[in-house]
Amino acid sequence: MQSNKELVVEPIGLDVETLPKPIDWREMFGNDHPVEMEIGCGKGTFITEQAKARPEVNFFGIEWARWFWRYTSDRLRRNNCMNARAVRADAGFFLREHVPNDSLSVLHIYFPDPWPKKRHHKRRLIQEPFLKEVERVLKPGGRLQVVTDHKDYFEHIEPVVRKSKLKVIDYNRPGSAAEGEFVGTNFERKYRREGRPFYAIAAVKE
């Protein structure tokens, strides 16, 4: 029988101002299951379906847009996804301030804002300082997975990832339900219908 301390008592939608630095994942979720994080969870399609399908994994979503964060939090709550949490925060800041060393099994980044105008490129998430944080927070054997439909941004992402200490590995996103595809993000499903090409890269911490 679980003690009260082991039971999940945290709300699904979290306030970043109240979170410890760093977070104790076991205290948050009430167990020692692996933790996977999604940056930019939008309406929560991916994180909700993954949380429902894999109760043996804890999921944590970060979303900057308040409306989407609220939508995701409510969606997780309505689906009784007690193995998932969501917070409204800047992703780079959150990794630096709140995520412990060697604590994430997978970091999912799907369709990040490409900030296409050249003067805005400095706002892009995936830069060398961010990869340093990714190296720090992933467990040995942990993976970074990135997908974008923006070719120019991918041409920026790929060398940044390859220059990091992570080892690039084969990563093929499933293309159809017949191939065993899990439910992707809203963007992914929409873009597949439109026939857009995707650019993907994954890397592992050795």
Kindly report the CATH number assigned to the domain that includes residue 22: 3.40.50.150
Q: Which two tokens stand for residue 3?
A: 């003690």
Determine the pLDDT at residue 1.
Answer: 38
Residues noted as catalytic: 113
Cα separation, 183 vs 91, whole angstroms: 23
Pick from 72, 53, 57: which is nearest to 11 by CA?
72
Q: Is the pLDDT of residue 23 over 70?
A: yes
Determine the pLDDT at residue 118.
Answer: 80
Cα separation, 89 vs 136, whole angstroms: 19
Dump pLDDT digits (tens) for 115-174: 678 887 888 999 999 999 999 999 999 999 999 988 999 999 999 999 999 999 998 765
User: Cβ(47)–Cβ(119) under 8 Å?
Assistant: no
Peptide bond into 22 cis (omega under 30): yes
- In total, how many domains does the chain have? 1
Determine the pLDDT at residue 121.
Answer: 87
Domain interval for residue 26: 4-204
Report the range of poorest mean pLDDT among 22-36, 109-123, 125-139, 187-201.
187-201
Dump pLDDT digits (tens) for 77-126: 999 999 999 999 999 999 999 999 999 999 999 989 886 788 878 889 99
User: Cβ(110)–Cβ(34) under 8 Å?
Assistant: no
